[in-house]
Amino acid sequence: MHCKVAKMLCAAGLEMGQEYEIYEDYSGRGMYGKATTALTIDNKDSLLQAVAEAMLNFEFYKENTPEPKCDEENITPRDFVTSIGGIKFDSLGLKTVAY
């Protein structure tokens, strides 16, 4: 997942009362040591709501994400949707990681 997308979803989730944790260098199943940005979530439904919130208010969340800055700061709505379309999930027991 793009770093900027993860941070936008984290901010949108917080607006809805969800607290997501960001992992900067997560390596999921089948990634063979490559790393990406990931979020820990309580459930997929809450993430879907955060996606909708972030898209409805795209420019706000694009400009108001947690520091530090990401490499891909200037993402477009299409970049956001493309990143969302490629999300994979791993179970962490009580939580799920989306990457």
- Predicted pLDDT at 18: 93
Q: Report pLDDT for 57.
A: 96
Q: Which residues span the domain enclosing 45?
A: 3-98
Segment 58-65 shows an average pLDDT of 90
Q: Which one-letter amino acid corresponds to residue 57?
A: N
Q: Which of 40, 46, 48 is nearest to 95 (CA)?
A: 40
**pTM for the full predicted model:** 0.88
Number of domains in the chain: 1
Taking residue 75's Cβ as centre, other Cβ atoms within 10 Å add up to: 18
The predicted-structure confidence for 70-87, as pLDDT tens digits, reads as follows 877 788 999 999 999 989
- Cα dihedral sign, 51-55-56-62: positive
pLDDT tens for each residue of 38-61: 999 998 999 999 999 999 999 999
- Interatomic CA distance for residues 58 and 70, integer angstroms: 16
Closest C-alpha to 42, from 18, 23, 66, 25:
18
